[in-house]
Amino acid sequence: MTPEFLNQRKEDLLREKEEIEKELSSFANKTSENNWETNFPHNMNNSNEDEDTDEVEEYENLLPVERSLEERLMNINIALEKIEKGSYGKCDKCGKEISEERLTAIPEAKNCIECN
Ligand SMILES: [Zn+2]
């Protein structure tokens, strides 16, 4: 792996991180580095039950979105840490190098194709 390749992956990861954080911040609050809480609808009132139900439903629909974005963000942070430590691009399971092709497609990949 060339330093250029590594630098490009780092840029990809940072860009992706920014995008995910932007997306998350549109409906959730950051509580710690890898943790976000979906905002519960604040204009809940009992005068219109149908509307309240819609908002609760929307909240419930957002939870899995939050979780999957959060997970991606966590993987991105792990990958960025590995770049700093010089251990980026190695499979977590078998320790072999992950192909550059795979890292280009998924810069936060933790496993090689065989272990995925
Ligand atoms: Zn592997």
For residue range 64-101, what is the model confidence (pLDDT) as tens digits? 999 999 999 999 999 999 999 999 999 999 999 999 99
Asked whether residue 110 is domain-assigned, the answer is no
What is the domain count for the chain?
A: 1
Q: Cα–Cα distance between 98 and 103 in angstroms, integer?
A: 7
**Which has more confidence, 10 or 32?**
10
Cα-to-centroid distance, 116 and ligand 1 (Å):
7
Cα-to-centroid distance, 16 and ligand 1 (Å):
24
Residue 28 lies in domain:
3-88
Question: Is 99 strand, coil or helix?
Answer: coil
Asked whether residue 101 is domain-assigned, the answer is no
* pLDDT at res. 108: 96
Asked whether residue 95 is domain-assigned, the answer is no
Cα-to-centroid distance, 97 and ligand 1 (Å):
8
Asked whether residue 102 is domain-assigned, the answer is no
Cα-to-centroid distance, 81 and ligand 1 (Å):
19
* pLDDT at res. 25: 95
- Tokens encoding 24: 């998350």
Q: Identify the residue whose tokens are 């991180």.
A: 17
User: Whole-model pTM?
Assistant: 0.83
Cα-to-centroid distance, 40 and ligand 1 (Å):
40
Asked whether residue 56 is domain-assigned, the answer is yes
Cα-to-centroid distance, 2 and ligand 1 (Å):
20
Cα-to-centroid distance, 102 and ligand 1 (Å):
12
32, β-bridge pairs: 35
Q: Is the pLDDT at 106 greater than 60, yes or no?
A: yes
Asked whether residue 104 is domain-assigned, the answer is no
Instruction: Let me know if 52 is exposed, middle or buried by CB neighbors in 10 A (0-12, 13-18, 19+).
Output: middle
For residue range 15-69, what is the model confidence (pLDDT) as tens digits? 999 999 999 999 999 998 778 999 987 665 556 677 788 888 989 999 999 999 9
Question: Are 99 and 86 within 8 A, CB to CB?
Answer: no
* pLDDT at res. 44: 55
Report percent pLDDT > 70 for the chain.
94
Cα-to-centroid distance, 8 and ligand 1 (Å):
22
Q: Cα–Cα distance between 45 and 93 in angstroms, integer?
A: 50
